Structure 1
Amino acid sequence: MKILVVGAGAVGGYFGARLAQTGRDVTFLVRPARAAQLQRDGLQILSPHGNLTFKPQTITAQEIHETYDLVLLSVKSLAIDRAIADMKPAIGPETMIYPVLNGMRHLDTLSRVFGERAVLGGVCMVSTDIDEQGRIVQLHETQKLVYGERSGEITPRIKALDEAISNAGFDTELSPGIMQAMWQKWVFIATLGLVTCLLNGSIGEINTAPGGEATALQCLDECVAIADASGFPIPQPFLDQIKPYYTAKVSKLTSSMFRDMQRGASVEAEAILGDLLKHGQSHQLKTPLLQAGCVRMRVYQNSRSAS
């Protein structure tokens, strides 16, 4: 299977490198400057599962002259329009587009351009960042890709995808309920982003402050209520699994959105929090903490634009 990874950043770079390391046919779609840097320094990964440095196969948008079987789309939501324009020549009638972006609204964006059938559902579970030297650093041992047809069908093509990317040094799961899985991840990351950005600290710092834990759990309740109202109720076992992440007294855990804000970078606030708020409003739900978090991040984004 010919795989095109769109974006060689913290997520796409990590999973693409693992796939390439195990002999898959992987090409990275990157900008010319990034292509030159990767050929000079290599793609470097620091991971509890083993470090890796290699020179990947890269291509720029202008160099695409054939289509691919699978496109792993791993850019941030803020870059999706440009990514779509760059990857268009790589999409054929049988190409599967496997997006691992945060939130849900990218599914509609991609389907409008490429058609419903082309776009799979996907969940990525990994915590990675890029350090000052441009290396991809894995912050936690979890590393998993989940994928499936949005209809829930187990089709020949999704079986082929499963076979192509399984046993590549990370966990994989072919899911007949990928939309539910996407909602569950959305609730998890939205709550973490809301708690850490609104309260301006790590989970441990928040929970050692009076009222911190109660506020964190109220954030979770609001996000869960939106999922429930939208037809994707969050199962109790999943809630039992994620609650400790928000209530730990000794924890340095933060969200990627919080880390981006600390660096003064753009944040995915609208895709993660803003779109969730819209879903809640469509069901007439009152979610004051989520609304406050959205306003907080919009003020931040506006301040970046003004500076």
Structure 2
Amino acid sequence: MRILVVGAGATGGYFGARLALAGQDVTFLVRPQRADALRRRGLRLTGLGEDLRLAPQLVTAAELASAGSSDGAPAPAPYDLILLTVKATALAPAVDDFAPAVGPGTVIVPVLNGLAHLDTLAGRFGTERVWGGVAKVVTALNDDGDIVRLAPFADLTLGETGGGTSPRADEMGALLNGVPGIDADVSPDILGAMWAKWAFIVTVSAVNLLGRGTVGEVAAAPGGAGLGPAVLAEAAAVATAAGHPLPDDLLAFATETATGADSPLTTSLYRDVRAGLPSEAEHLFGDLTDRARTLGVATPLLDVAALQLRVQERKLVSKN
């Protein structure tokens, strides 16, 4: 099975490297600058006692688009699996970049947060090619561009958005199961899993945004410990109204995480906001509050968080 991983950052680089190290045929679609760095240093995984290096197969968007277009040579066979690991802010250009790699039998698995990207991808490539995906991994890029693993878990869940199981799902499960360093699962309810992660991320992000600090700093302030559960209740109500009630274990874990005393936790969205960078504001908060309005669910705390983010995004646009 030919696998194309779109992006070789902290998430795509980790999962793609694990698949390649397990003997799978993996190619990374990357920007030219990242390609140059990876050709010089290789793709490296470090942290938690590991120090692994591989020479990855790489392709740029220009190379992918031009393949088979010169000298009358046939275009290469399309990829069987495309693992899309970019942020929502980079979704539109990424779709154009990997489009030449999509064939009739290609399965596209995006591991973006939220749900709005599913409609974008299905509109371009067809519902039958687009699956759902959830990645849970704590990794970061260091100054050298190496992938540093910061926590022992690395979960990858995927499934067909229509639910249930199929021979294609079994094939994907057989491909992923047993890959060292990945705890893989093919879910018959991938949309439920995506709603669960979405609710978790917006809960912690809202604690950071509304409390203007880490989870621990907010929890330590008078009244702060109640913010996380209140936001979670709003997100859970939207999920339930959408037909995807959150499981009890997720509710318990999210509550504990969002109220942890002395926790240094901040989300990447909050860190982007603090750094004055574009964020996944609309993809995570705007889309969720819009769905809440459609479903008739009141979300006052999430609405305030969405408003803050929209003001921030407008400021960034005006600067540029």
**Corresponding position of 1:39:** 39
Decide whether the 8 Å contact of 2:228 with 2:255 is kept in 1: no
Q: 1:131 to 1:262 in 2, by over 3 A?
A: farther
Alignment partners' CA distance in 2, 1:51 and 1:218 = 42
Question: Among 163, 167, 182, which residue is 2:178 paired with?
Answer: 167
**Corresponding position of 2:19:** 19
Decide whether the 8 Å contact of 1:49 with 1:141 is kept in 2: no
Q: How far off is 1:191 after superposition? A: 0.8
Q: How far off is 1:250 after superposition? A: 2.1
Give the SS at the match of 1:14.
helix
Identity, % of aligned positions: 44
Q: How far off is 1:131 after superposition? A: 2.8
Question: Among 233, 237, 252, which residue is 1:225 paired with?
Answer: 237
Query: What stretches of structure 1 move > 3 A for 4+ residues in a row?
Result: none
Question: Among 87, 99, 105, which residue is 1:76 paired with?
Answer: 87
| CA offsets 1:35-86 (integer angstroms, 9 cap, x no match) | 1111012222223262323221100122224210000001111111111111
Give the SS at the match of 2:133.
strand
Alignment partners' CA distance in 2, 1:185 and 1:147 = 13
Write out aligned runs for 1:202-217 (5 A).
202-217=214-229
| CA offsets 1:134-154 (integer angstroms, 9 cap, x no match) | 222223222100011112231
Greater displacement, 142-151 / 258-267: 258-267
Write out aligned runs for 1:86-105 (5 A).
86-105=97-116
Alignment partners' CA distance in 1, 2:122 and 2:189 = 19
Alignment partners' CA distance in 2, 1:14 and 1:235 = 28
Greater displacement, 92-101 / 256-265: 256-265
Greater displacement, 134-143 / 222-231: 134-143
**Corresponding position of 2:197:** 185
Decide whether the 8 Å contact of 1:197 with 1:257 is kept in 2: no
Give the SS at the match of 1:252.
coil
Question: Does residue 113 of structure 1 match 2:113?
Answer: no
Question: Does residue 199 of structure 1 match 2:211?
Answer: yes
Give the aligned CA root-mean-square deviation in angstroms.
1.4
Alignment partners' CA distance in 1, 2:277 and 2:140 = 13
Question: Does residue 274 of structure 1 match 2:295?
Answer: no
- Counterpart residue type for residue 316 of structure 2: R
TM-score (norm 2): 0.92
Question: Among 265, 268, 279, which residue is 2:277 paired with?
Answer: 265
Give the SS at the match of 1:134.
coil
Give the SS at the match of 2:26.
strand
Decide whether the 8 Å contact of 1:194 with 1:273 is kept in 2: no
- Counterpart residue type for residue 91 of structure 2: I
**Corresponding position of 1:9:** 9
**Corresponding position of 1:85:** 96
Give the SS at the match of 1:117.
helix
**Corresponding position of 1:300:** 312
**Paired positions, count:** 307
